[in-house]
Structure 1
Amino acid sequence: MADTTIIKVDGNHSPKGKDGQKYLANGRTVSMRLWEKETPGPAKPPVRRDYETVGYAIAGRAELTIEGQTVLLEAANSWVVPKGAEHSYRILEEFTAVEATSPPAEVHGRDKG
């Protein structure tokens, strides 16, 4: 039997992660999160994550460095961070973006560290 569960999340009341991300709707194999009005600052330390991330920039500008290659992210840009790739972000101008992660970042502590 197919899963007929509908999940709706009100972003105004979403739980927040330790890095400021808002956790939005999530399923068994993918989840969404919102980075809202992230402030400019130095690059975040490089990390490797146990999930793939696809993102879409809504407003502002940021630099994404993946395995030594840097790209500029601006409104209407989308990107992919492969599972296990070393990467970091540097916010250049107040930045808002939505990301989807697979498997879900917030499950089993994948978003920690």
Structure 2
Amino acid sequence: MTTSSGNSQTEQPLARGERVGLRMWQGEQPGTDKDTHASPYETVGYVLQGRAELTVNGQTQTLAEGDSYLVPAGAPHTYRILETFSALEATSPPAEQ
């Protein structure tokens, strides 16, 4: 399990194959904002708990428990946590862990 410094946010790798990886983000706290960045892998996610704003290619959506999302490979994106947030994510190819 990877734990970020400075808060209780954790990234837990769950499974990894040659073409896809699965991870869980747990306990991301309000005020956790990411700088805009692009990843070399596609991400699909499912919100388990909380709320966040996800901005992909300049379009913002509010995510809540039960919502799913997609971040295409190479797409500029950022997020802002509104309520303590947990999500499952699959990445293809697998994200480096």
TM-score, normalised on structure 2? Answer: 0.89
Residue equivalent to 1:100: 90
Unpaired segments of 5 or more residues in structure 1? 1-14, 108-113
**Distance (whole Å) between structure 2 residues aligned to residue 97 and residue 42 of structure 1:** 14
Where does residue 17 of structure 2 map in the other structure?
27
Deviation sequence 1:23-59 (CA, Å, 0-9, x none): 1111110001111011010531011000000000011
Kept in 2: contact 1:17–1:23 (CA 8 A): no
Structure 1 residues 51, 17: CA separation in 2 closer, same or farther (over 3 Å shift)? farther
Q: Distance in 2 between matches of 1:63 and 1:47?
A: 15
Tell me: CA distance 1:16–1:95, structure 2 relative to 1, closer, same or farther (3 Å): same
Structure ranking higher in strand proportion? 2
Number of residue-to-residue matches in the alignment: 93
Gaps of 5+ in 2: none
Q: Which amino acid aligns with 2:59?
A: Q
Percent identity reads 51
RMSD: 1.5
Are the aligned partners of 2:10 and 2:27 in contact in 1 as well (CA < 8 Å)? Answer: no
Question: Which is bigger in relative contact order (C-alpha 8 A, separation at least 6)?
Answer: 2
Trace 1:36-55 onto structure 2 (pairs within 5 A). 36-55=26-45
Structure 1 residue runs of 4 or more that deviate by more than 4 Å after TM superposition:
none
Q: TM-score, normalised by structure 1?
A: 0.77
Following the alignment from structure 1 to structure 2, what is the Cα–Cα distance between the partners of residues 28 and 17? 24
> Larger Cα Rg: Structure 1 or Structure 2?
1
Q: Partner of 1:76: helix, strand, or coil?
A: coil
Which of 63, 68, 74 matches 2:53? 63
Q: Distance in 2 between matches of 1:73 and 1:100?
A: 17
